[in-house]
């Protein structure tokens, strides 16, 4: 892999082109053409300022946040590159939780000291604090769709090594069953003492996920096996192993009723809360490590290709400077082609043909929501073509928003 990469596009180049086009439109067509351009952009040009971040030409001056909006969508509405959001969002210190945006809030776009910013419209600071809100519908908008994250966290299609090593697991089935299904009951170890009625997703541990760079084990594919509901916790006597007398000790087991199945339940399957906490939210951002370069190592559910709003795993994490909210470009691997034509005569086949690798084409953008030591999970938020295992990931400055090519491999 060639890590000495250069971006395909330059922000400053786009700015100069945009400014020239704007001034030409005004000069040729007069006031009528200028009126069609967003007033914020016209004011920017008249003031002779240079844009510090790539503002969308169609950015609204005023926007009322709606239920169902995501921070990514709002960022894309104001910015050509949504990961610049932290650079334009104005944090109002008079609001108890200034980073949160709620349905009904009014966002206002303006320029302050020559720099673009988005803030709550005056009067928005009098809204109720998040602690006073009682309806889930009034919750703060999230960076990416909440329901998609809950589906993934509750029924994780990708398991880390820690999940497989430390999560509670199925220790056996009632009535000496070897495998379990609906109408069966199972026993789990490691759940402590959950309340009756609590539900857990039972996940089977599947194929290994290994780092293509060095072959190290990073995690496993997870397969949904069943949904279990706690009947009760009970005591089980197990042999002790902490003394030469093999003293016995009591350890609680959890008795669960199977209420839904996706496949057979096996001893050793892992348990995850059906209503899992996805953690604190984040704002879209660009990685601090501009030289980041890795690969897609898995696609959730074990399918071959992924598209928008599907989850993928990459072989990079906190060790490489990544944090939740980082956006990354995805590049489709350029295919190795055989040039069968003689360059001296385009109509003749060559006896000794050349092998040529096509450029790596940008295909998508992913937004990371879970970042571990050497593995991260991301949601596909933009895509122009399908994503495959083995595709490259890089800093979002490479390529273009909807396309572009770069050479990552030789």
DSSP string, 98-143: TT---TT-EEEEEEETTEEEEEEPTTGGGSPPGGG---GGGSPP-S
Alpha carbon distance 136, 68 (integer Å): 12
Specify the higher pLDDT residue, 137 or 331. Answer: 331
**Predicted local confidence at residue 214, as pLDDT:** 93
Please give the helix or strand (H or E) that residue 182 lies within, else none. none
Write the CB contacts of 366 (distance below 8 Å, at least 6 apart in sequence): 312, 314, 327, 328, 330, 378, 379, 380, 381, 393
- pLDDT tier for residue 374 given thresholds of 50, 70 and 90: very high
Q: Would the pLDDT of 397 be above 60?
A: yes
- pLDDT tier for residue 262 given thresholds of 50, 70 and 90: confident
Q: What average pLDDT does the segment 188-192 reach?
A: 90
Tell me the angle at which helices 39-46 and 11-29 cross, rounded to the nearest 10 degrees: 100
Q: What average pLDDT does the segment 5-11 reach?
A: 45
Least confident window among 91-100, 214-223, 283-292, 361-370 = 91-100
- pLDDT tier for residue 252 given thresholds of 50, 70 and 90: confident
Q: Where are the domains of the chain?
A: 11-143, 149-273, 293-406
Q: What average pLDDT does the segment 295-299 reach?
A: 94
Specify the higher pLDDT residue, 133 or 92. Answer: 92
Alpha carbon distance 258, 182 (integer Å): 5
Q: Would the pLDDT of 379 be above 90?
A: yes
Q: What average pLDDT does the segment 47-54 reach?
A: 53
Alpha carbon distance 367, 64 (integer Å): 24
Specify the higher pLDDT residue, 293 or 244. Answer: 293
Contact 377, 320 (CB under 8 A): no
Q: In what order do the strands lie in the sheet with 62-64?
A: 62-64, 106-112, 115-120
- pLDDT tier for residue 235 given thresholds of 50, 70 and 90: low
Q: Would the pLDDT of 233 be above 80?
A: yes
Write the CB contacts of 250 (distance below 8 Å, at least 6 apart in sequence): 235, 236, 237, 238
Specify the higher pLDDT residue, 401 or 269. Answer: 269
- pLDDT tier for residue 47 given thresholds of 50, 70 and 90: very low
- pLDDT tier for residue 298 given thresholds of 50, 70 and 90: very high
Digit-coded pLDDT (tens) for 64-117: 999 889 999 999 999 999 999 988 888 666 555 666 888 988 998 988 888 899
Digit-coded pLDDT (tens) for 339-360: 766 666 555 665 666 777 787 8
**Predicted local confidence at residue 46, as pLDDT:** 38
pTM, entire model: 0.73
Residue 342 backbone phi and psi in degrees, to 5: -75, 125
Alpha carbon distance 125, 274 (integer Å): 36
User: Percent of the chain scored above 70 by pLDDT?
Assistant: 68
**Predicted local confidence at residue 400, as pLDDT:** 52
If phi over 0 gives left and psi between -120 and 50 gives alpha, with beta otherwise, what is residue 388?
beta
**Predicted local confidence at residue 181, as pLDDT:** 63
Average pLDDT, the chain: 77
82 by Cβ neighbours in 10 Å (0-12 / 13-18 / 19+) ranks as buried
Q: Would the pLDDT of 120 be above 50?
A: yes
Q: Report the range out of 164-178, 196-210, 237-251, 344-358 with the highest average pLDDT.
A: 196-210
Contact 143, 326 (CB under 8 A): no
Alpha carbon distance 108, 56 (integer Å): 15
């Amino acid at each position: 892999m060639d890590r000495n990469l250069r971006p395909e596009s330059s922000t400053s180049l786009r700015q100069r082109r945009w400014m020239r086009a704007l001034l030409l439109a005004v000069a040729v067509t007069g006031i009528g053409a200028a009126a069609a351009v967003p007033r914020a952009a016209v004011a920017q040009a008249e003031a002779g300022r240079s844009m510090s971040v790539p503002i969308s030409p169609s950015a609204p001056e005023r926007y009322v946040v709606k239920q169902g909006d995501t921070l990514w969508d709002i960022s894309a509405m104001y910015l050509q590159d949504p990961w610049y959001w932290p650079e334009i969002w104005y944090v109002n210190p008079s609001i108890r939780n200034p980073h949160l945006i709620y349905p009904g809030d009014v966002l206002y776009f303006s320029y302050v000291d020559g720099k673009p910013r988005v803030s709550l419209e005056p009067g928005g600071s009098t809204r109720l604090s998040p602690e006073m809100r009682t309806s889930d519908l009034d919750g703060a908008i999230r960076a990416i769709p909440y329901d998609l994250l809950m589906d993934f966290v509750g029924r994780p299609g990708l398991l880390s090594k820690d999940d497989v090593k430390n999560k509670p697991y199925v220790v056996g089935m009632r009535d000496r069953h070897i495998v379990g299904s609906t109408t069966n009951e199972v026993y789990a170890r490691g759940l402590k003492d959950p309340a009756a009625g609590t539900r857990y997703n039972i996940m089977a541990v599947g194929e290994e996920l290994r780092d293509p760079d060095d072959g190290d084990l990073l995690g496993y594919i997870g397969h949904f096996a069943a949904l279990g509901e706690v009947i009760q916790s009970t005591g089980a006597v197990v042999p002790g192993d902490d003394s030469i007398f093999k003293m016995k000790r009591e350890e609680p087991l959890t008795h669960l009723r199977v209420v839904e199945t996706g496949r057979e339940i096996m001893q050793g399957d892992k348990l995850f809360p059906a209503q899992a906490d996805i953690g604190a939210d984040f704002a879209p951002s660009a990685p601090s490590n501009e030289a980041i370069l890795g690969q897609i190592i898995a696609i959730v559910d074990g399918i071959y290709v992924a598209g928008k709003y599907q989850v993928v795993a990459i072989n990079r994490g906190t060790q490489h400077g990544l944090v939740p909210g980082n956006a990354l470009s995805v590049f489709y691997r350029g295919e190795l082609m055989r040039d069968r034509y003689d360059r001296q005569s385009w109509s003749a086949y060559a006896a000794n043909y050349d092998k040529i690798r096509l450029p790596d084409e940008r295909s998508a953008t992913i937004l990371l929501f879970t970042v571990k030591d050497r593995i991260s999970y991301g949601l596909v938020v933009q895509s122009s073509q399908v994503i495959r295992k083995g595709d490259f990931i890089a800093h979002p400055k490479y390529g273009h928003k909807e396309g572009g090519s770069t050479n990552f491999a030789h």
